[in-house]
Chains A and B, each alone.
Chain A
């Protein structure tokens, strides 16, 4: 006589597969914002009261919004919780929340930047670098409807992501790397390689008259609109995209997408549409060497500036090879910190 139990055991793999399928389907059916809110709340649930108090801020906390930098935390202390003070489960939950708010490519870039900083830690005389020194903070209450913000950053990284409905707004954000080129086993990692290569390809696609417009006659030694420069819009210079042909404009948009696609996948569409709508008034300016060694980053500065966009790429000539140390800035002067989402 057959019993029920052996049947269950026999069918266990099928049941488990069905369960996993349903679970995966349920997650997939969730909107990206629901997944972000779920992952963030899950992270918060791993914290004790004291930790929760440290990681959460009011959505309109201006001081916390502006508490970011390219510099190590010893120079510009961050608030929130550092990865180094979280236990393994908390740290996994924190990084899962960050991964959810970013695209797969964006999260990979973040990991490469942190890994580069880990390399600096091994050579540094003081404990001011490394993956443990990246901070997470939450401004406002995670919600699918009302705006809130997730911040994640440390040395060479400052992500300020405002979530408003289905949109994730990544401005202002600083993305940098040092070393900007390293190897893991046999794989070469260039955290900002595409940002360098696509820009050089665009410059090379310009004709002589366009290059004369685009290439500035002066040296630009650093970011102009870096940390502490919120709310400023400088006079644009260089070559306007209205003077580019369609192929060049497509190349410019592909270059801009390197920043616009860091955030989770449902956001770049609307963001790129905004940027396209202002493309005719978008400028491309270049300062410095117009060539680069194969497989290495450019040593030139460039800026892309439009009605709702500022991108700066600034190699750092700080006693070493500028191609190995890069700061980049990504802003929307009309919508930094999700200003539009909260405008009354």
Chain B
């Protein structure tokens, strides 16, 4: 149908793949007491040598499982997650690398899964996620999934222009009523309450005893 003379209106790039950027797409999932982050990293052709030099620690031209893990940890070190202004340690869950032949052609990707525990019973949280990996060539995406748990509600996320910094507020209505372990403020409050109840009880008992003693005293003893 279209097989006639074809004339391009503009020059066509030879490839259909990423060139001079390092795409780093993060998807955050919020669960009860937990934050999960899924990173998809796609180095462009022009930046691959620099990225590969970081991955290939012994510079032998190939990537071992240990080098993959080391690079995943290196990426992890360039990320930060804070909940309510408290830094949370991210734990590496898994990583997967496309073959080098695809990565160097801008057509492969690196997947890294991370997670962090959110301590405490608070129902309101402020989350800040920052990615500082390869900022000179980084092209960032950061998004949050609609929570599967209906108790978790998210406010509109905010980002800086290049999406290397991502923040949102969320509430977890199940946190207060859930079976999560009590935090120290809750224990302190409980101890204080218990102490007050015990003190009140002692005062009441002493008062009753003194009243009973007064009533039981013989009449002749009174002045």
A321 nearest in chain B by CB position = B10
Q: Does B188 sit within 8 A of A, measured CB to CB?
A: no
Are the CB atoms of A219 and B161 closer together than 8 Å? Answer: yes
Given A218-B161, A221-B139, A234-B27, the answer on whether A320 and B13 have CB atoms closer than 8 Å is yes
Chain A nearest CB from B148 CB (Å) reads 9
Q: Does A178 sit within 8 A of B, measured CB to CB?
A: yes
Give how many A residues have a beta carbon under 8 Å from the other chain's beta carbons: 47
Q: Does A123 sit within 8 A of B, measured CB to CB?
A: yes
Chain A nearest CB from B161 CB (Å) reads 5
Chain B residues near A221 (CB-CB < 8 A)? 21, 23, 139-141
Q: Scan residues 144-191 of chain B and give those whose CB is less than 8 A from a CB of chain A.
A: 144-146, 154, 156-157, 159-163, 168
Chain A residues near B154 (CB-CB < 8 A)? 235
Q: Does A179 sit within 8 A of B, measured CB to CB?
A: yes
Q: Scan residues 109-148 of chain B and give those whose CB is less than 8 A from a CB of chain A.
A: 139-141, 143-146
Given A218-B161, A222-B25, the answer on whether A324 and B6 have CB atoms closer than 8 Å is no
> Which listed segment binds A: B48-56, B64-72, B73-81, B100-108?
B100-108
Chain A residues near B157 (CB-CB < 8 A)? 235, 237
> Which listed segment binds B: A35-43, A111-119, A132-140, A254-262?
A111-119
B161 nearest in chain A by CB position = A218
Chain A residues near B144 (CB-CB < 8 A)? 234-235
Q: CA A123 – CA B144 in complex, angstroms?
A: 40
Are the CB atoms of B6 and A119 closer together than 8 Å? Answer: yes
* Chain A interface main SS type: loop
Q: Does A232 sit within 8 A of B, measured CB to CB?
A: yes
Q: Does A75 sit within 8 A of B, measured CB to CB?
A: yes
Q: CA A272 – CA B212 in complex, angstroms?
A: 85
Chain A residues near B159 (CB-CB < 8 A)? 217-218
Q: Does A343 sit within 8 A of B, measured CB to CB?
A: no
Closest 5 CB pairs of A and B: A319-B19, A75-B107, A320-B13, A221-B139, A218-B159
Residue ranges of B at the interface with A (Cβ–Cβ < 8 Å): 1-2, 4-21, 23, 25, 27, 40, 44, 46, 102, 105-108, 139-141, 143-146, 154, 156-157, 159-163, 168
- 10 A-B pairs with CB atoms under 8 Å apart are A118-B6, A119-B8, A124-B14, A183-B7, A184-B2, A222-B25, A228-B40, A235-B156, A318-B13, A318-B21
Residue ranges of A at the interface with B (Cβ–Cβ < 8 Å): 70-72, 74-75, 111-112, 115, 118-120, 123-125, 129, 155-156, 178-179, 181-185, 188-189, 217-222, 224, 228-229, 232-235, 237, 317-321, 324-325
